[in-house]
């Protein structure tokens, strides 16, 4: 996705709005825009706080929510992995 910004400040606001609008993670935003996770994190946590405190609070809320849910998502991913492995194993026994 092409970002339309000319300054770091504009990029920070753009990323902040994207994260809030899509309930996105730092990793997801970085992947969507082809920039590093570190850059996204610095933009939305440090720079955005100085540029647009209200948007920063919204971003912080989304990031805190993601952080609170990550252990659940990790458990779901592990469960899915082992269910898939078990399916493959069972298919191999059928032949």
* pLDDT tens sequence for the chain (95 residues): 666 778 999 999 999 999 999 999 999 999 999 999 999 999 999 999 999 999 999 999 999 998 887 778 778 889 899 989 888 888 877 65
CB 56 within 8 A of CB 42: no
Q: What is the pTM of this model?
A: 0.73
pLDDT at site 25 = 95
**DSSP per position, the chain:** -----SSHHHHHHHHHHHHHHHT--HHHHHHHHT--HHHHHHIIIIIHHHH-HHHHHHHHHHHHHHHHHHHHHHHHHHHHHHHHHHHHHHHHHH-
CB 40 within 8 A of CB 30: yes
């Amino acid at each position: 996705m092409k970002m339309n910004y000319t300054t770091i400040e504009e990029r920070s606001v753009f990323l902040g709005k994207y994260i809030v609008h899509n309930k996105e993670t730092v990793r997801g935003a970085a992947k969507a825009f082809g920039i590093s996770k570190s850059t996204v994190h610095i933009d939305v946590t440090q720079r955005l706080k100085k540029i647009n405190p209200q948007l920063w609070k919204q971003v912080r809320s989304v990031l805190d929510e993601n952080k609170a849910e990550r252990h659940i998502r990790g458990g779901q991913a592990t469960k899915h992995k082992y269910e898939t492995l078990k399916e493959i194993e069972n298919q191999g026994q059928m032949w």
